[in-house]
């Protein structure tokens, strides 16, 4: 398939016939009144008149009238549309989804190449073709909580990490065969109940999957097993301390992942403080090379089942 036309042994003749069917409704069928007129003309004018008139009927490459089945068309969309789709291409643009419960952000912070996110109620997909030799180009993501002054509808955040309750998340993704990227949660902690600006306490990342040359900031400081899943633990710092839990067995999805389990481990390691607040839970991708093909198909965060 070449997107709009199927490739056949009939060559250009068949393609022209299909284009014509696409433009003119029911041009593949001879109308009844024309058939009656033909019979009359055959009787009065003879075979020559019949040949002249019938040349207006669309023909296939074989010379036969195009069959009615040719009028069937296929979709030109390579990706099925989701309900309530919204396209965001501004570098730091965002849009609410799921009646405002979540916010999808483009977050093109690290590259000059273009990027768009197509947001819908259960997630988003990425359109980009980045080419970074080091470091991520962006973090297209879906947000639950408060992020630079924008708080999602009904969020329990900011909230003391001592009172997170049963905070769980489900996330399903698709990833391309080519490119460099990671699939990661970005969870933010702050010493105060911050709603504006960037948190200053801790960036806690949970990496579900990554390509070979992509690693977290800093260095590996150990390993741990949380809820039966083994992780590498990395720590580093740019303007804020980052701890990254990197799954040793990559996956494209998690179900009912317990967020407090990771916060407790980070607190034991001394990078989080008991009196701090959680401000947001974000889930997205850090593409270095490529980007198209990265998608979130399902995302949710619940606290005590709500």
Indicate which residues carry an active-site annotation.
Answer: 203, 286
Return the beta strands (E) in 148-276 as ranges: 150-151, 159-160, 167-174, 182-190, 202-210, 219-226, 229-237, 241-247, 253-258
Sign of the alpha-carbon torsion through 117, 119, 122, 127? negative
Q: Is residue 157 helix, strand or coil? A: coil
DSSP 158: S
Contact indicator for 278, 161 with CB cutoff of 8 Å = yes
Q: Is 121 helix (H, G, I), strand (E, B) or coil?
A: coil
Looking only at the bridges linking them, the beta strands covering 229-237 and 94-97 are unpaired
CB 294 within 8 A of CB 285: yes
Task: Kindly tell me the sign of the dihedral angle through the C-alpha atoms of 185, 167, 189, 217.
Answer: negative
Across the strands, what pairs with 193?
A: none
Asked if 286 and 135 count as a contact pair (C-beta separation under 8 A), the reply is no
> How do strand 219-226 and strand 253-258 relate by DSSP bridges?
unpaired
β-pair type (241-247, 202-210) = parallel
Closest CA to 261 of 166, 183, 191: 166
Residue 281, strand partner residues? 144, 187
Neighbours of 125 (CB within 10 A): 22
């Amino acid at each position: 398939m070449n997107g709009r036309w199927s490739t056949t042994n009939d060559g250009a003749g068949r393609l022209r016939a299909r284009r014509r069917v696409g433009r003119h409704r029911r041009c593949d069928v001879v109308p009844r009144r024309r058939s009656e007129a033909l019979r009359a003309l055959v009787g009065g004018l003879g075979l020559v008149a019949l040949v002249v008139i019938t040349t207006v009927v669309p023909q296939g490459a074989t010379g036969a009238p195009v069959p009615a089945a040719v009028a069937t068309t296929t979709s030109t969309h390579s990706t099925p549309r989701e309900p309530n789709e919204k396209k965001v291409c501004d570098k730091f643009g965002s849009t609410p989804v799921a009646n405002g419960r979540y916010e999808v952000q483009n977050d093109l912070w690290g590259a000059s190449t273009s990027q768009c996110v197509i947001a819908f109620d259960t997630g988003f997909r990425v359109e980009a073709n980045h080419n970074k030799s080091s470091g991520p180009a962006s973090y297209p993501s879906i947000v639950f909580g408060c992020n630079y002054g924008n708080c999602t509808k009904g969020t329990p955040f900011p909230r003391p990490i001592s009172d997170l309750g049963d905070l769980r998340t489900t996330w399903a993704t698709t990833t391309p065969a080519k490119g460099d990227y990671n699939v990661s949660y970005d969870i933010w902690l702050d010493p105060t109940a911050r709603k504006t600006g960037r948190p200053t306490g801790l960036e806690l990342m949970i990496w579900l999957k990554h390509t070979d040359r992509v690693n977290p900031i800093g260095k590996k400081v150990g390993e741990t097993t949380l809820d039966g899943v083994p992780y590498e633990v990395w720590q580093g710092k740019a303007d804020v301390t980052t701890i990254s839990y990197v799954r040793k067995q990559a996956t494209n999805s998690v179900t009912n992942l317990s967020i407090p389990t990771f916060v407790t481990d980070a607190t034991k390691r001394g990078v989080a403080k008991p009196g701090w607040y959680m401000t947001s839970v974000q889930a997205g991708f850090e593409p270095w090379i490529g980007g198209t093909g990265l998608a979130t198909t399902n995302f949710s965060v619940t606290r005590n089942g709500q």
